[in-house]
Amino acid sequence: MEHISLGRTGLKVSRLCLGTMNFGPLTSEEDSYAIMDRALELGINFFDTANVYGWKMGEGVTEQIVGRWLQLGGGRREKIVLATKVFGRMGEGPNEHRLSAYHIRHACEESLRRLKTDHIDLYQMHHIDRETPWDEVWQAMEVLVQQGKVLYVGSSNFAGWHLAQAQETARARCFLGLVSEQSLYNLKDRTIELEVVPACRAYGLGLIPWSPLAGGLLGGVLQKISAGRRADKDMQKKIELHLPRLKAYEALCRKWSEKPADVALAWLLRNPVVTAPIIGPRTLEQLNGSLRALKIKFSRDELKQLDAIFPGPGGEAPEAYAW
Q: Is 321 tagged catalytic? A: no
Q: Which residues contact 10 (CB under 8 A, 6 or more apart)?
A: none
β-bridge partners, 183: 209
Question: Which of 33, 53, 203, 249 is an active site residue?
Answer: 53
To 5 degrees, how large is the angle CA 281–CA 287–CA 289? 125
Q: Which residues contact 111 (CB under 8 A, 6 or more apart)?
A: 51, 60, 63, 84, 86, 120
- Residue pair 23/70 in contact by the 8 Å Cβ criterion: no
**Number of C-beta neighbours around residue 101 at 10 A:** 16
- Residue pair 220/265 in contact by the 8 Å Cβ criterion: no
For residues 296 and 84, give the distance between their C-alpha atoms in angstroms, rounded to a whole number. Answer: 29
Catalytic (active-site) positions? 53
